Structure 1
Amino acid sequence: MSGPAESTTAPLTTDERAELERLRSEVDALRARKPRGPVPWRGIGAGLLGVLGCLLVLVSLVTVWVHNQVANTDRFVATMSPLIREQSVRTAITDRLTDTVFTHVDVEALATRAVDALAQQGVPDQAVAPLRALTGPLESSVRGFVHDRIGDVVASPGAAELWDRVIRAGHARMHAVLSGEASNVVVSGGEVRLDLAPLVTEVKRQLVASGFTVAGRIPDVHPTIAVTEASTLERAQTTYTLLDRLATWLPWITVLVLAAAVYLARDRRRALVQTGIGIAVAMLVLAGALLVIRGVLVGSVPERSVAAAGDSYDTVVRFLRGGLRTLFAVGVVFALGAFLTGPSPIAVKLRQGLSGLIGWLRRGGARAGLRTGRVGPWVHTYRAALRGAAVGIAVLVFVLLNRPSGLTVLVIALVLVFCLGVIQFLDQPAAKQG
């Protein structure tokens, strides 16, 4: 009964036989290893180093962000420049500048003095009394006119250049605060504030040009606007200096710690999977921390400043969020790559399915007259080196890109998978060549 059943079994394909030989080789290698005594410290050390490495990934990302976004003026300007396009921020700046104008220009007092002058010139009381009643509404109307005109100035294209000058000067002072050189200049009342003097000058010019000539009486003042809550910055000057110094070499220490964790692990493939998952989890923790900080920040400002504070915070940390998304994608791709190349039943079935698909494509190409010629045997001979080169190029592309995104990581991973599939498609032993 067994003979006929065996005769109907389909023969193994070339790819299936190659997979079987690979598994047999792994089994033989495992059996050939000399038995070793238990070395518990290796597993404990690998685990501790893995956890430490994943935490260092989080810390490294924050330190690099601090260095690039806070210590570098050009990067800081690039970060803060989009704020002027947020309507909530424009409204806050317009309100602050309007208050500055009417701090130095008392429209109601000016109108009252004008009415008094008319009365002194002999104008009848029945004409003067209605004018006195109009001084309050006049002040309100003028304030509305000035507020609208300032809003137009703040929303104009030219305001962006002025805004960049404001934040460039503000960054220099904030850096002085963080480094401990000028603790009273930018931080006031627990807030980081920007000097709006350049915008005041432009507003004065525009108001005078619009006919509101009394605006020319406004002296050279330096009103400020709160950008974000800064109590944590006031308490973190020492930490800032340390993180700024660590930004250069801490990422490399992190890579070495993770590499040591994988090297010490008894099952290095599983350690690679766990490392990738750990990096992804660390990024999720950082994302949650940023949300909590945002909630605390928004809840600590006055009601009218909530929108501006939220938009300012989102703008400031957007590069940090972009970095954590990138590292999250790296961790996921890393873990999936290590898992899918492992011996688990799911991974083996997926590889067999892919091998079957590539074999079907290869046979279809052969029926259509496509031949690899000398390329097939050459690829078969150097297939390990070609695969390693493909992985190395993918890593190099990722490293050389300027601020790659999470989507970029996924695209690189998909291109790498395609290249590996092409290598396997071209991989044909010499004996199979026609």
Structure 2
Amino acid sequence: MDEHETTARPSPAFRRVAVRALLVAASILTLLSLVAVFARREALDSSRFADSSAAVLADATVRKAVAGYLVDQLYAHVDVGTELHATLPAQFAPLADPIAAALRAYADRGAADVLGTDAASTTFRTAVFHSHATFLELVDRRAGQVDTVYLQLRPFVLNLADQVGVGALARQELPANAGALPVVDEANVSTVRAWITRVRTASVWLYALSALLYVAAFLLSRDRRRALVGAGAGLVGVGITLLVMRAVGRTIVVDHLLVAGSPYRDAAGRAYSIFTALASSLAWSALATGVAAMAIAWLAGPGTFARWGRALLTPVLVRRPLVGWAAIAAGGVFSVLFSPLHDPSQIAPRLAVGGLVVGGYELIRRRTVAEHPGGGWTLAAVRARLEQLPSSPSALRHAQALHAQGLLTDEQFVTIARQSTDE
């Protein structure tokens, strides 16, 4: 048995405890860093927040709720019945109020249809972007005299008034704050300003600190493979915890902050799912990385199935290692092209995953080379082995399948068939 197959010496008690403590601490910091990255990229990035808001508006349930708000704003500030009474012929004037009530149902449908257009989506995204940028200016004390942030939906109310036929009156009677949805004021911002500063800092440094703890755990451990299993299990736990936190957050936002029967419950649930999609993506990334780490540790282990797995991969790991390196390089290029970096906080996790893949591949490759210095199995050897097997109906059927796949030549198949016939 060579040095690669020897069992790692057991670590002293203090070393084992220290490694486990480092892995637990690294997992906790990874969880906190993912939360901080989510908050930074989703809540503190005006462009991304505006994109998410536009995606929320694209949802039919949310559009219906927003349309209801716009209609409420119009009918609260404009007497549609009086305007119709003044414009209708005298004989139809008594019908002004019933017509106004009927128009309200039409306005609900019309507003929802308008909000579903590309032009409305662009206008809404711009309004959200400006309100969010003002919010960040308020946070950074760069907003001047502004002490309240509004989401300006007035253009949508005026557009709705034009559809109903009271556009001119709406422009005269609508107050300046009609359709201006208050989002946050200075009193609210002052309570979260310190936390926002911490989030901005934490999203950059927590990843680096957790990576250092993982490295320290590996350096301290005498059984690197077991340490890799522990790190992978920790990342799986991080991913599951983040998914649970997202589900609990939905319960708090939708079930506790909105009363039962509220017309906005469904819309709030859809909006929550869209705004927290990034958290779900981060959680599944942590899960996938953890599973990959444990799979690498298993494939590098001394178990029977791990040995079979390495033996199966000998053509690539031993004879054609550049094929594996090319696949890893292609994966890295694909990641950069189709998932570009948005901020510096993404650099550390990308490097960590890349290091895991590169290090894991090299670890498994070296172990496989030590076990199969001759290069392992070849297709020709498999064919020769099949020819040496005693012929039988089952062997003949197997040979027929291999021949159909082109893995046996006609001559080889005829030889096996003759042996089966002779028997």
What TM-score do you get using the length of structure 1 for normalisation? 0.67
CA gap of 1:292–1:168, structure 2 versus 1, over 3 A, is same
Q: Judge conservation of contact 1:276–1:330 (CA < 8 Å) in 2.
A: yes
Q: Judge conservation of contact 2:19–2:221 (CA < 8 Å) in 1.
A: yes
Once the two structures are superposed, the pairs formed by residues 402-421 of structure 1 within 5 Å of their partners are: 403=339
Asked if residue 53 in structure 1 is aligned to residue 26 in structure 2, the reply is yes
Separation of aligned partners in 2, 1:58 and 1:154: 38
Instruction: State the partner residue of 1:15.
Output: none
CA gap of 1:258–1:96, structure 2 versus 1, over 3 A, is same
Asked if residue 335 in structure 1 is aligned to residue 294 in structure 2, the reply is yes
Instruction: State the partner residue of 1:165.
Output: 126
Instruction: State the partner residue of 2:109.
Output: 148
Which residue, out of 242, 261, 278, partners 1:319?
A: 278
Which residue, out of 232, 241, 262, partners 1:285?
A: 241
What's the CA shift for 1:22?
5.2
Q: Judge conservation of contact 1:179–1:241 (CA < 8 Å) in 2.
A: no
Unmatched 5+ stretches in structure 1: 1-19, 119-126, 187-192, 363-375
Letter matched to residue 56 of structure 2: L
Letter matched to residue 200 of structure 1: V
Separation of aligned partners in 2, 1:392 and 1:253: 26
What's the CA shift for 1:163?
1.2
Once the two structures are superposed, the pairs formed by residues 252-271 of structure 1 within 5 Å of their partners are: 252-271=208-227
Which residue, out of 118, 135, 153, partners 1:174?
A: 135
Q: Judge conservation of contact 1:88–1:308 (CA < 8 Å) in 2.
A: yes
Separation of aligned partners in 1, 2:151 and 2:212: 41
Q: Judge conservation of contact 2:62–2:267 (CA < 8 Å) in 1.
A: yes
Separation of aligned partners in 1, 2:65 and 2:335: 41
CA gap of 1:136–1:400, structure 2 versus 1, over 3 A, is closer
What's the CA shift for 1:236?
3.5
What's the CA shift for 1:83?
1.1
Q: Judge conservation of contact 2:318–2:365 (CA < 8 Å) in 1.
A: no
Equivalent position SS for 2:263: helix
Instruction: State the partner residue of 1:369.
Output: none
Separation of aligned partners in 2, 1:320 and 1:271: 27
Once the two structures are superposed, the pairs formed by residues 115-264 of structure 1 within 5 Å of their partners are: 132=94, 134-176=95-137, 179=140, 185-186=148-149, 194-208=151-165, 213-219=168-174, 220-225=176-181, 235-264=191-220
Letter matched to residue 157 of structure 1: D
CA gap of 1:70–1:179, structure 2 versus 1, over 3 A, is farther
Separation of aligned partners in 1, 2:299 and 2:338: 29
Separation of aligned partners in 2, 1:103 and 1:86: 26
Q: Judge conservation of contact 1:262–1:268 (CA < 8 Å) in 2.
A: yes
What's the CA shift for 1:92?
1.3
Separation of aligned partners in 2, 1:114 and 1:319: 52
Which residue, out of 301, 305, 308, partners 1:349?
A: 305
Instruction: State the partner residue of 1:7.
Output: none
Deviations for 1:336-391, whole angstroms, at most 9, x for unmatched residues? 21122122x3xx33323551x467xx7xxxxxxxxxxxxx9x966x96xx699579
Separation of aligned partners in 1, 2:116 and 2:313: 58
CA gap of 1:258–1:232, structure 2 versus 1, over 3 A, is farther
Letter matched to residue 56 of structure 1: L
**Count of aligned pairs:** 350
Equivalent position SS for 2:222: coil
What TM-score do you get using the length of structure 2 for normalisation? 0.68
Separation of aligned partners in 2, 1:281 and 1:166: 39
Asked if residue 275 in structure 1 is aligned to residue 238 in structure 2, the reply is no
CA gap of 1:311–1:179, structure 2 versus 1, over 3 A, is farther
Separation of aligned partners in 2, 1:398 and 1:272: 26
Q: Judge conservation of contact 1:180–1:237 (CA < 8 Å) in 2.
A: no
Asked if residue 94 in structure 1 is aligned to residue 89 in structure 2, the reply is no
Equivalent position SS for 1:287: helix
CA gap of 1:176–1:314, structure 2 versus 1, over 3 A, is farther
Equivalent position SS for 1:242: helix
Letter matched to residue 241 of structure 2: V
Separation of aligned partners in 2, 1:387 and 1:98: 62
Instruction: State the partner residue of 2:251.
Output: 295
CA gap of 1:399–1:113, structure 2 versus 1, over 3 A, is closer
What's the % identity of the aligned pairs? 24
What's the CA shift for 1:149?
2.8
Separation of aligned partners in 2, 1:180 and 1:294: 31
CA gap of 1:167–1:390, structure 2 versus 1, over 3 A, is same
Equivalent position SS for 2:148: coil
Instruction: State the partner residue of 2:265.
Output: 306
Equivalent position SS for 1:304: coil
Letter matched to residue 211 of structure 2: V
Letter matched to residue 151 of structure 2: L
Unmatched 5+ stretches in structure 2: 341-349, 379-423
RMSD: 4.3
Equivalent position SS for 1:194: strand
Q: Which has the higher Rg, Structure 1 or Structure 2?
A: 1
Separation of aligned partners in 1, 2:13 and 2:365: 37
Q: Judge conservation of contact 1:42–1:265 (CA < 8 Å) in 2.
A: yes
Instruction: State the partner residue of 2:46.
Output: 73
